[in-house]
Amino acid sequence: MSSRYVRPYGDTTGDGMIQTSFTLPIPYGPKADGAAQQLANKMGMDPAMVVHSNPIGDDFTFFVVYGSVKHIVDLDEVKVVEREYPLLSPSEVNTTLKKVLRRKLVVVGGCIGTDAHTVGIDAILNIKGFAGEKGLEYYRELKVVNLGAQVSVPELVRSARAEKADAVLISQVVTQRDAHILNTQEMSAAFREAMGDKRPLLVAGGPRFDPLMAAELGVDRVFSRGTTPGEVASYLVHAMQEKKGVAA
Amino acid sequence: MALLDLDPKVVATARKLAARAAEPVVSIAKAHTTVAVERATLRLAGITGADSTHRAGDVPWVNRVIDTVREQCGLEHGVVLPAFHALKEHDLGTLTELAEATAAGQIQFRIPEKKDLTAAKKAATSAVAKGLKTVDRNRAQRDKLVQKLGDPAQRPWIYLIVATGDIDEDVVQAQNAARAGADIIAVIRSTGQSLLDYVPEGATHHGFAGTYATQENFRIMRAALDDVSKEVGRYVRLTNYASGLCMPEIAVLAGLQRLDMMLNDSMYGILFRDINPIRTFVDQRFSRQVHARAGIIINTGEDNYLTTADAVDAAHTVTVSQLLNEHFAHEAGLPDHLLGLGHAFEINPKVPDSFRLELAHALLARELFPDAPLKWMPPTKHMTGDVFNGYLLDGFFNLAGVLTGQSILLVGMMTEAVVTPFLSDRDLALQNVRYVLNAAGSLAEDFRPAPDGLIVKRAHQVLGEAVDLLERIVDDGLLNAIADGTFGLMKRPADKGKGADGVIEKASAYFNPASEMLEAQA
């Protein structure tokens, strides 16, 4: 039976041990170590051991600190998006889609804004796939249109319309000045304006997205780090079933 | 050397095929000019500055002139004839004054004839020659400094990236990196600069994931590295990016400000930025001619293929691209010692024998291009955010670099794919490099892969696959191969892509003194 309250585990239950490292903008020496100790204490590490420090140039010092944190995690207060749909195999995805739609499901994807990092969208869409799972191109009942990098929002909307997309997948890796959030909001607003309720399912993915942000971003679903093509395909099936269920 | 026992006949065949594949593209490149080539030419002729009164923000003067010339009399004869004719006709002192008058709507450009034509050609030639003289002076100055201060004590040279977005912060980071052992500093550009059809002006302080490449930023950083070079007692080199829609112009600015290395790939822009293929090949040829003149080492971008394709399945596409890059570079006048051909350590670490496969690929590149300063690039695709594992992977990457005699080693960051590197990440990464270089020492002397072992066999296999692919490219045509997604799985048709409208077919009376002088050097 798992308990509601947990602490970090070093080598003994409840010891609260963690490890962290950081740099302070002060010269190397005993005073620097003391400063690191103070920071660790303020972070809730008590006792804290500064196990290593070394100078980086004349003005900076790097530290490795081990210690026990006094904080306790209350699992009842942890809020995450739990997957509310079953994980399907590619053949299950194909059969279900065939039954529900009686045609191929059209997916349009790309990296929007100035983002040129296609690694995420390619991992999901390209037949090559990710983590041993084949990408969406592999699924017989999916038609995938990968627009690649640096797709403008109007271009994306145009393509989605031309392809009669059921779902639009966008990927965002670059996060400077919240570019990923602003780009995604711009995208969802553009779809709402252009197509209203008839808009395709909007899915955003990227390593720095929080799955809880779907509403804020104006999209139907957010996928974060480590998502596999199978999870996305299973979600698309689930969402299509829901949609049909409502319509029927 | 010669640990792989490659068949010289197969190697010669591979080179011959690369040359044949490239030939039609070189012809196309010679028959066209682009707005960027014309802008680069005017920059060599001395135009500087920007129109700060334009409502769209600063527009470089060179763009104002080129756009107006194109509107009024086309660019198929080159920009210099109408520009230098107008200069004389209106009795203006400099190209910048001409640009101001152009913006004020006072200039009507036309192609000069007879005596006017001769006069315009002469004036343009002497102006461009002056620009090239500055490039020559910078090259001589670099040679002098290298002689005085010396090259790095060890190979590979240690290549480190800074990217704060603010040139002043970059200076602090770059100087600290040099003090900590970096031999080459690369200033990564702001995301999206490659798709700007102009070069921003002045010192800049707000980039996205990088700092804008501008002439002033180049000057500031080179001066800062000259200072720190004296301090550390070796010549610290500076790298930037001649890629994207302004490839030729940035090549010129690099030559004018004594940059030492430039990223310059024959196909990167096409595949990864969706830039029009013809535009890219025309721009690339001119930019490489400028680099050759400036004595700048180019860095090619084969690492990028492996970020989209699988590093084992697509290993031969790297070899093919290296051979094409080599041919295009030679054709543009770059000698072997300026060819920083790229490759990368990107095999999935979960693949059995992944390290041996990496060694096979790295050694193949080394032996195919014995006189090229190869650029060895660190893992990025399989850096997961587990920084501890990433640090180990970077250690193996460093070891492969030492064992296979790589020339330029781009320092891997354990925080790759997590955050832009912390000061401490960079410091730890350099410690990793120093430890491996020092601990392995001259281990390469003792490294003799078994003649019929996995490493040798794998290298032969990759070379064989590269020859097969080159044969198919020759049959199909390089432009078709690019359109079909042969490289990096990206499909790029020759008539699509950004910047296509900036390509102009040359008229028979096309004149460009820069091209003529650069062509003569090859």
| Closest residue, chain A, to B309 (C-alpha) | A128
- Among A70, A128, A164, A244, the active-site one is A128
- CA B257 – CA B223 distance, rounded (Å): 9
Q: For B215-248, write each residue's pLDDT tens digit.
A: 999 999 999 999 999 999 999 999 999 999 999 9
- CA B505 – CA B180 distance, rounded (Å): 50
CB contact under 8 A, A119 and B209: no
Rg (CA), chain A: 23
pLDDT at position A248: 45
Which of A134-138, B431-435, B510-514 has the least mean pLDDT?
A: A134-138
CB B367 within 8 A of CB B6: yes
pLDDT band at residue B286 using 50, 70 and 90 as cut-offs: very high
Which of A100-104, B114-118, B303-307, B338-342 has the least mean pLDDT?
A: B303-307
Tokens 């093509």, residue located: A229
Q: For B465-474, write each residue's pLDDT tens digit.
A: 999 999 999 9
ipTM score for this prediction? 0.84
CA distances from B51 to A12, B61, B98, B217, B435 (A): 68, 6, 12, 19, 51
| Closest residue, chain B, to A61 (C-alpha) | B424
CB contact under 8 A, A115 and B191: yes
Sheet with A45-56, strands from edge to edge, namely: A17-24, A60-69, A45-56
Q: For A169-222, write each residue's pLDDT tens digit.
A: 999 877 777 888 999 999 999 999 999 989 999 999 998 898 899 999 999 999
pLDDT band at residue B96 using 50, 70 and 90 as cut-offs: very high
H/E stretch holding B501: none
pLDDT at position A148: 80
Strands A73-74 and A5-6, bridge-based pairing: antiparallel
The amino acid at residue A124 is: I
Residue A244 annotated as catalytic: no
State the best of A114, A119, A130, A227 to mutate against chain B, taking most chain B CBs within 10 Å.
A114
In this structure, is the dihedral angle defined by the CA atoms of residues A42, A44, A48 and A52, taken in order, positive or negative? Answer: negative
* DSSP symbol at B385: S
CB contact under 8 A, A56 and B209: no
* Nearest CB to A23 within list B208, B307, B422: B422
Name, in order, each residue with C-beta under 8 angstroms of B330's C-beta and a sequence gap of 6 or more: none
Percent of chain B as helix, strand, coil, to the nearest 5:
55, 10, 35
State the best of A122, A125, A208 to mutate against chain B, taking most chain B CBs within 10 Å.
A122
In this structure, is the dihedral angle defined by the CA atoms of residues B273, B56, B249 and B282, taken in order, positive or negative? Answer: positive
Q: How far is B522 from chain A (nearest CA, A)?
A: 35
Q: How far is A177 from chain B (nearest CA, A)?
A: 8
* DSSP symbol at B409: E
- CA A36 – CA A58 distance, rounded (Å): 17
Give the pLDDT mean for B142-157. 96
State the best of A118, A130, A171 to mutate against chain B, taking most chain B CBs within 10 Å.
A118
Ramachandran area for residue A102 (φ above 0: left; ψ -120 to 50: alpha; else beta): left
Q: For B24-63, write each residue's pLDDT tens digit.
A: 999 999 999 999 999 999 999 999 999 887 766 688 999 9
Q: From chain A, pick out residues whose CB is under 8 angstroms from the CB of B489.
A: 122, 126, 128
Q: From chain B, pick out residues whose CB is under 8 angstroms from the CB of A62.
A: 424, 427-428
* Nearest CB to A62 within list B191, B192, B427: B427
Among residues of chain B, what percentage have pLDDT more than 70?
98
Q: For B263-281, write each residue's pLDDT tens digit.
A: 999 988 888 777 999 999 9
Q: Reply yes or no on whether the pLDDT at B131 is more than 60.
A: yes
pLDDT at position B441: 93
CB pairs A-B closer than 8 Å: 60
Give the pLDDT mean for B283-306. 95
Give the CA count within 13 Å in the CB-facing half-sphere of A198. Answer: 6
Whether residue B449 has a cis bond before it, omega within 30° of 0: no
B374: exposed, middle or buried (Cβ count in 10 Å: 0-12, 13-18, 19+):
buried
Series of mean pLDDT values for 10-residue runs along chain A (248 residues) = 88 96 97 98 96 94 97 92 88 93 93 75 76 81 86 92 94 80 93 92 91 92 90 94 72
H/E stretch holding B319: helix B315-331
Q: Reply yes or no on whether the pLDDT at B252 is more than 70.
A: yes
**Residue A204 in tokens:** 């955003």
Q: How far is B489 from chain A (nearest CA, A)?
A: 9
CB contact under 8 A, A150 and B310: no
Q: From chain A, pick out residues whose CB is under 8 angstroms from the CB of B307.
A: 119
Following DSSP, what letter does each residue of B111-133 receive, concatenated?
---HHHHHHHHHHHHHHHHHHHH
* Nearest CB to B209 within list A22, A148, A176: A176
* Nearest CB to A176 within list B180, B208, B307: B208
The four Cα atoms B295, B297, B298, B299 give a dihedral, to 10 degrees, of -170
* Nearest CB to B308 within list A57, A60, A118: A118
Give the pLDDT mean for B182-191. 92
| Closest residue, chain A, to B209 (C-alpha) | A176
Does this model's pTM top 0.90? My answer is: no
CB B345 within 8 A of CB B379: yes
Q: How far is A144 from chain B (nearest CA, A)?
A: 14
- Give start and end residues of each alpha helix (H) in B78-166: 80-89, 95-103, 114-149
Q: Reply yes or no on whether the pLDDT at B326 is more than 80.
A: yes
Name, in order, each residue with C-beta under 8 angstroms of A79's C-beta and a sequence gap of 6 or more: A212
3-state secondary structure chain A: CCCCEECCCCCCCCCCEEEEEEEECCCCCHHHHHHHHHHHHHCCEEEEEEEEEEEECCCEEEEEEEEEECCCEEHHHCCCCCCCCCCCCHHHHHHHHHHHHCCCEEEEEEEECCCCCCHHHHHHHCCCCECCECCHHHCCCEEEEECCCCECHHHHHHHHHHCCCCEEEEECCCCHHHHHHHHHHHHHHHHHHHHHHHCCEEEEECCCCCHHHHHHHCCCEEECCCCCHHHHHHHHHHHHHHHHHHHC
CB contact under 8 A, B195 and A176: no
CB contact under 8 A, A225 and B385: yes
Tokens 């790589």, residue located: B406
CA distances from A122 to A88, A117, A148 (A): 20, 9, 8
CB B107 within 8 A of CB B65: no
